[in-house]
Amino acid sequence: MFVVLQTKSRVIDSRLVTNVDRTMTDVVFPESFIFESEPDDFCVEITLYAARTDLGLSDGGGSLRTRITRSLGRRFGGQVKLNLNTMELPHGVRGDSAVGGTHFNMLARAYLVLTDAGDECKIHDLRLSAFG
């Protein structure tokens, strides 16, 4: 899991935080993010990304029906991916959003403005993404 902070002029990303599971309600990123000399209309977009790494193996792989369905889905997905890879994409369009072989999904997002800033640490809620 990592977070991306984007202003009008900068994009900053955090280091990866590992060993995060679905039972956790809070995730802490060890970095401090400092924004200096920002305009009065300062706004930062905070986007949280994560990759599923357990691959569903913690429950023993599921029922036979689930495993067969998953296998057929992988075959179909492989065919679709093969067909997409053979199609020529327009210049500048990327068909794959994987980084280093791992596919990260956007989980949540928040927008903070200058009035949200302060001298003390604060907790900010993020809105879940419909695509996460």
For residue 28, what are the CA distances in angstroms to 4, 49, 51, 77, 121? 14, 14, 17, 35, 12
**Within 10 Å of residue 107's Cβ, how many Cβ atoms?**
16
Dist CA 52 CA 56 (whole Å):
9
Confidence at 89, pLDDT banded by 50, 70, 90: very low
Share of the chain above pLDDT 70, in %: 61
Given a contact cutoff of 8 angstroms between Cβ atoms, the answer to whether 114 and 40 are in contact is yes
76 compared with 13, residue with greater pLDDT? 13
Amino acid (1-letter code) at residue 12: I
- The confidence score (pLDDT) of residue 52 equals 74
Comparing C-alpha atoms, which of 53, 45, 47, 52 is closest to residue 107? 47
User: Residues 42-66: what's their mean pLDDT?
Assistant: 69
Please tell me the number of Cα atoms within 13 Å of 128 on its side-chain side. 4
State pTM to two decimals: 0.59
Alpha-carbon torsion, ordered 76, 82, 87, 92, to 10 deg: 100
- The confidence score (pLDDT) of residue 54 equals 61
Confidence at 132, pLDDT banded by 50, 70, 90: very low
- The confidence score (pLDDT) of residue 66 equals 56
Evaluate if residue 102 carries a pLDDT over 70.
yes
